[in-house]
């Protein structure tokens, strides 16, 4: 996030009084949580300088004989003397896949709610927003494999079904990013938006290749890495027998002694992910669970705005080249 943007948003939160994650997670219904975040966010955004953003984008193709003339963009024809067909509205709507990590490590919590709950709320918030805009939203949960998959739809009742799936507790064991991503790449054939929500606490050796493959298949990717503050700060004091939530491995750790090395390795891990994403043109955000979800929503929109600019630039370039 740009620093100027964040500052502006901070001003907004101070002015409106943003709801904290702990308070938000106290709401039992995930649907209600998502609604509160989105509506609260949108109310604030109307007064903000960010109005005019839109997630919609259109696609043009050159008129071919036999196409329906009703779909010719006459205004473009007026400007450029070229016949371009404007695609149908539904075809131009966004198809978004939410890929949510349901591995055991997502069950860790130090602040009253788990990462999984935070991630589910985040996914629900995005779904709600996209549904409001008429976009199709699909969902896939995974641990070592794809556990559940809902294809993107935008019809009444689908959001609720999606919410129900999100509200399930993580049942998985370990985290394997490679296999689910590969499987998703196989499933998703049409272009769209893919939002990966995970703690990414797994080896990232194959992550780059799979992300590149998805990227190449025309998917726009946004990666939200959800981390607990305790995971980031390693704020333990008492020497304890630390047990891995995924594979139940345990050993004795003196936090005071291990803290610096832990943070160093974590930082290195995050750097690697960030570097990979940057190379692939993927938006990457680290979401601490004590961070208000509005920030995630903001990041999402900023990312979409940036994506929209890029499409417009591409379209202009295409038109110029054709003219």
Partner 1 sequence: MNFLYPIFLIGAVAVGVPIILHMIRRHTHKQQLFSSLMFLKESKPRYQKRSKIEHWLLLLLRCLALLLLALAFTRPFFGKPLQTMPGAAINRKVILIDTSASMRREGLWPQVLSRVNSVLHDVEIDDRLCVMTFDRQPRTLIDFESWRRLEPTQRANIISDQVNDITPTWNPTYLDQAFIAAIRMIEEDEIDNQDLSIESQQIILISDLQQGARLDLLHTFQWPQEIHLVTEKITAESTTNASLTLLAEQNIYSSPEEKTQRRVRITNSPDAVRERFVLNWNSPPELETNSMEVYVPPGQSVVVNIPPAPASLQQLQITGDDHPFDNQHFASAPVRHQLNIIYLGDENIEDPDNMSFYLQKAMPPTRLLDPQVRILPPTESLENVDLNTVGFVIVAEELAPENMDILKRYLQSGKTILVVMKTPELANTICALTGQKQLAAEEVMPDNYAMLSELDLNHPVLKPFDDPRYGDFTQIHFWKYRRLNLEDLPDAHVMARFDNGAPAWLTMSAGAGRLVVLTSGWHPTDSQLARSTKFVPLLYSILEFAGAVRNRQFQYFVGERFQLPPWIKDESSKLLVHRPDNSNTTLDLNQESYFQPDMPGFYTIEAAQNKLLYAVNISAQESQITPMTVEELETFGVSLQPQHSPLPDLTQQARREKANRQALESQQKLWRWILLATTLALLLETVLAGWLSKTPTEAQGVTK
Answer yes or no whether residue 204 interacts with partner 1 by CB under 8 A.
Answer: no
CB of 252: closest distance to partner 1 in angstroms? Answer: 5
CA dihedral sign of residues 269, 270, 274, 277:
positive
The answer to whether 255 and 230 are in contact (CB under 8 A) is no
Task: For strands 283-288 and 219-227, give the pairing.
Answer: parallel
Between 92 and 264, name the residue whose CB sits nearer to partner 1.
264
Residues 113-142 that bind partner 1 (CB under 8 A): 115
d(CA 221, CA 119): 16
Answer yes or no whether residue 109 interacts with partner 1 by CB under 8 A.
Answer: yes
Tokens representing residue 238 in the block:
């008492």
CB of 107: closest distance to partner 1 in angstroms? Answer: 8
Residue 174 CB neighbours (<10 A): 15
- Of the candidates 121, 170, 114, the one whose C-alpha atom is nearest the C-alpha of residue 142 is 170
First-to-final CA distance of the chain: 37
Binding test (CB under 8 A) with partner 1, winner from 69, 189, 238, 323: 238
CB of 100: closest distance to partner 1 in angstroms? Answer: 16
Residues 77-106 that bind partner 1 (CB under 8 A): 105-106
Tokens representing residue 320 in the block:
């110029």
Between 218 and 239, name the residue whose CB sits nearer to partner 1.
239
Binding test (CB under 8 A) with partner 1, winner from 19, 126, 201, 297: 201
d(CA 226, CA 101): 10
Answer yes or no whether residue 38 interacts with partner 1 by CB under 8 A.
Answer: no
Coil vs helix vs strand at 195: strand
Instruction: Spell out, one character per residue from 148 to 187, where the chain touches partner 1: x when CB under 8 A holds, - when not.
Output: ----------------------------------------
Side-chain half-sphere exposure of 316, counting CA atoms within 13 A: 5
Residues 239-298 that bind partner 1 (CB under 8 A): 239-246, 249-254, 257-258, 261-262, 265-266, 269
Q: Which residues bind partner 1 (CB under 8 A)?
A: 105-110, 115, 199, 201-203, 228, 230-231, 235-246, 249-254, 257-258, 261-262, 265-266, 269
């Amino acid at each position: 996030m740009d620093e100027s943007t964040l500052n502006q948003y901070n001003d907004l939160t101070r002015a409106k009084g943003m709801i904290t994650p702990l308070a938000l997670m106290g709401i039992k219904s995930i649907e209600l949580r998502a609604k509160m975040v989105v509506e609260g966010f949108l109310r604030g955004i109307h007064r903000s300088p960010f109005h005019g953003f839109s997630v919609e984008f259109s696609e043009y193709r050159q008129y071919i004989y036999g196409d329906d003339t009703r779909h010719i963009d006459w205004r473009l024809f007026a400007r450029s003397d070229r016949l371009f067909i404007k695609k149908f509205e539904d075809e131009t709507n966004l198809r978004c896949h939410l890929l949510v990590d349901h591995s055991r490590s997502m069950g860790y919590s130090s602040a009253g709610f788990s990462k999984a709950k935070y991630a589910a709320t985040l996914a629900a918030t995005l779904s709600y927003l996209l549904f409001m805009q008429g976009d199709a939203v699909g969902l896939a949960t995974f641990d070592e494999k794809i556990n559940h998959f809902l294809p993107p739809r935008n019809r009444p009742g689908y959001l609720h079904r999606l919410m129900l799936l999100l509200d399930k507790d993580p049942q998985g064991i370990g985290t394997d990013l490679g296999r689910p991503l590969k499987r998703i790449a196989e499933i998703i054939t049409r272009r769209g938006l893919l939002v990966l929500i995970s703690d990414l606490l797994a080896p990232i050796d194959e992550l780059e290749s799979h992300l590149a493959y998805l990227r190449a298949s025309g998917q726009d990717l946004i990666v939200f890495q959800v981390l607990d503050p305790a995971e980031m700060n390693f704020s333990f004091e008492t020497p304890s027998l630390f047990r891995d939530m995924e594979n139940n491995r345990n050993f004795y750790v003196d936090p005071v002694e291990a803290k610096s090395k832990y943070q160093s390795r974590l930082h290195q891990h995050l750097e690697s992910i960030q570097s990979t994403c940057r190379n692939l043109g993927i938006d990457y955000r680290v979401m601490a669970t004590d961070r208000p979800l509005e920030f995630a929503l903001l990041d999402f929109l900023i990312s979409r705005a940036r994506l929209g600019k890029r499409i417009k630039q591409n379209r202009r370039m295409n038109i110029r080249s054709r003219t």
